[in-house]
Amino acid sequence: STNAPKLVAQLHAAYLEQGAHFLDAPITGGAIGAKKGKLTIFVGGDQPSFERFAPVLRAIGDRPIHVGPSGTGIVTKLVNNCAGQTLNLVLAEIFALGLKAGAAPLPLWEALRSGASGRRRTFDVMIDEFLPARYSPPNAALSIYYKDMMLATELARDLKVPMRFANLALGEYTEAMARNLGNQDGRIAMTLPLERLGLKVAEDPEAIEEILRRDPPAASDSKRGTEREPS
């Protein structure tokens, strides 16, 4: 289940005192995934314990993934849930804009799920630029992202549609533009939250590709397997 990292730390310490193994291993996939046996398990703990109990975990879900030391399993679950639950409200906000501007619900939904964002799994957006920290040459320049966000939020203002999430995003793109990053890929704005915490992400492209070989992206193009965005 989903619990607080503090509780997991307390349980880990208690088990260690008894000389026992401890893995925090929350699952994701929901009721439908459980019925189909398609569950991902986020596992935190030492590598030997993970390898020892992997057969038990595979009896529960088809994809146990060791994400790091004790506590990182539950942290991953919280990040996963936060992403999904926040995106629900983001989608509702932008959908409301489309409806207010005159689009009908079902055609709008059909069109959106067929677009670049709709065809791609949520975290596949990180593959090409964010994870390897490659923002040049751009797939779609920050200046284009900024222009699109300005147009969308201007439409919202004209229609008197509140756009809380979109305006927060526009603030990030505006800050990135103020740093003269307009010719870089638009996803360079994703580095701003990391920078504020003194963090950086720059992963080995080969390590990224190895993960993609095990679990290919849902959408595809000729280059890498991720849906490309029009400029």
Q: What is the pLDDT of residues 134-155, one digit of tens each?
A: 999 999 999 999 999 999 999 9
- Domains of the chain: which residue ranges? 1-114
Q: Is 77 a catalytic residue?
A: yes
**Can you read off the two tokens belonging to residue 72?**
């990182």
pLDDT tier at 218, thresholds 50, 70, 90 = confident
**Can you read off the two tokens belonging to residue 14?**
């208690």
Neighbours of 21 (CB within 10 A): 14
Q: Quote the mean pLDDT of the chain.
A: 93
Measured distance CA(160)–CA(74) in Å, rounded: 40
Task: Report yes or no: 103 and 179 within 8 Å, Cβ to Cβ.
Answer: no
Task: Report yes or no: 120 and 226 within 8 Å, Cβ to Cβ.
Answer: yes
pTM of the predicted protein model: 0.89
pLDDT in tens, 2-24: 899 999 999 999 999 999 999 99
pLDDT tier at 226, thresholds 50, 70, 90 = very low
Looking at 38, 77, 147, 160, which residue is catalytic? 77
| Three-class DSSP category at 66 | strand
| Three-class DSSP category at 43 | strand
Task: Report yes or no: 48 and 69 within 8 Å, Cβ to Cβ.
Answer: no
Question: Domain spanning 1-114 has what CATH number?
Answer: 3.40.50.720
Residue 231 has pLDDT above 70, yes or no: no
Residue 221 has pLDDT above 90, yes or no: no
pLDDT in tens, 51-110: 999 999 999 999 999 999 999 999 999 999 999 999 999 999 999 999 999 999 999 999
Strand partners, 63: 40
Task: Report yes or no: 231 and 140 within 8 Å, Cβ to Cβ.
Answer: yes
